[in-house]
Amino acid sequence: MADQTNAQSFSNAIWPELKAHSDGLQTPLKELFAQDPNRVEHFSMSAGSLYLDYSKNHLDAKALELLATQAKQSGLEDAIKALIGGEHVNNTENRPALHTALRCPAISPADKTAVVAATQAQMREFVDKLSSGQWHGYNGKPITDVVNIGIGGSDLGPRMVVTALSQFQQSAVKVHFVANIDGADLSDALAGLHADTTLFVVASKSFSTLETRENALAARAWSLSHGCPESDLGKHYVAVSSNVPAAMEFGIDEANIFPMWDWVGGRYSLWSAIGLPIAIALGMDNFDALLAGAANMDEHFASAPIEQNMPATLALIAFWYSATRGYQSQAILPYAQRMSRLPAYLQQLDMESLGKSVDRNGKPLTCDSGLVLWGTEGTNGQHSFHQLLHQGTRSVLVDFIASGKPMSPLDSHHSYLLANCIGQSQALLAGKSLAQAKQELLDAGKPEAEADQIAPHKVIPGNRPSNTLIIEQLDPTNLGALIALYEHKVYCLGVLWGLNPFDQWGVELGKQLGSAVYPALTGNECPAEWDGSTRNLVEKLRLK
């Protein structure tokens, strides 16, 4: 894969025409719909059971043509082949990014699929023992609770999936999650659990991540203090790690250490043994269905032309609004309560991948990269931040996500949920004019003077963009496809911006400095070279 720099992306032959077309395309969305009664047919697509309506964007046929050309001139077609073929697309760490090999053997290198299959067999054997009550603790009782200790990619993905697919819970074993170094997180998770029936999954590639290490050590002390003999710790701890010696030194049997590989990034790892909590909670068959859904999206991504490629289309829309219109923010609004943790998961996937200031060759970017991604589940968000979406001065790109089939027996609730989802996207599009606002007030019996005074406050500008994604139902297969869709969208944006979406060097400095602050907080003197604010904060917060 030839490295496409950021400067090259914005010196492509098509870029000036693309930017000029965006600047000139000022037709309001309502007029675009009026001009083309079949607009939705021209600005929508399906990939498997996922459906994308992107007609409520400031795009016309020429814009789509120019965006596709921009993608091709940026090398996106070759970049997709390079990703799936196992080339070292993570150039700063000189390694591939083969998360697709975890779920789609049909298009993956054979040497990777072999080790993946072996790991999945190991997972299945372990999960079967747990769910059937054959895995016993130190006193012979079967395990009833599993606590996953991990952070970042070792927590966000598994936690999101287990929450989203709670209806598919197969095992009587309950799964809990601990991530934060705040001791309250572990304490709350352990409240009500019994050491003799609790098993811990320690998920850390290096087995040295601060939060995971300290939480695992505290959990180990809890197990020992509640009656577990040190010789029996192996019955209560398994690990997902590439550092086998460190895990064994902790007290974990080598046979109960599940592998990780450097060709899978943390935020792309829920498909690996990092997904062990998913398999425990939902059963291995449902975990396989999750993988199958992602594989369907992988095959679509690998084979569909740019113009009909759903991940590429989402990426090009985000690129259009960011690069040509200055958008800084994107809201993810899943209208499904069980998908409440999807925005937090996508925050890491998107912002850790795209929050870069240099291109693949280390040269400063010539434009902004990455969007600030945020959101929550509908309809709850309507009662918190939707006010800003509708009447605020900041431009926000919005993704609505809806499930066609209800996940509860309350059908009318689901109809209200979907009605609100559609209504919100319609409101962003249509808005409310001053004349409409005034007439509403008059119809409500307000005097004309009062209507004139209040009407400006009820105006909603409209003409604000959104995408709507529909899945047939929230199940393992469709969720797998949805997650893979966003993974590939992020990769496409990395190519369009000419940056490496697979490293995260920016997270290191704060951790390094935090390690230096810790001794000062616990009694040592602050180094003289520290700034006054840091010294002051340490003095204020120093443990007495």
141 is catalytic: no
Pairing of β 257-258 and β 237-240: parallel
383 is catalytic: yes
First to last CA, the chain: 56
Active-site residue, from 42, 81, 405, 511 = 511
Separation of alpha carbons 177 and 391, rounded Å: 38
Separation of alpha carbons 204 and 182, rounded Å: 18
Q: Are 277 and 201 in contact (CB under 8 A)?
A: yes
- Burial code (b: 16+ CB inside 10 Å, e: under 16) for 2-13 equals eebbbebbbebe
Active-site residue, from 383, 457, 540, 544 = 383
511 is catalytic: yes
Active-site residue, from 21, 176, 235, 352 = 352
Neighbouring residues of 153: CB distance < 8 A, sequence distance ≥ 6: 265, 266, 267, 268, 269, 270, 274, 348
User: What SS3 string covers 483-510?
Assistant: HHHHHHHHHHHHHHHCCCCCCCHHHHHH
- Residue 1's Cβ-count burial label (10 Å; 0-12, 13-18, 19+) is middle
Give the containing element (helix H, strand E) for 297: helix 284-303
User: Residue written as tokens 């395309």?
Assistant: 25
By annotation, the residues acting in catalysis are 352, 383, 511
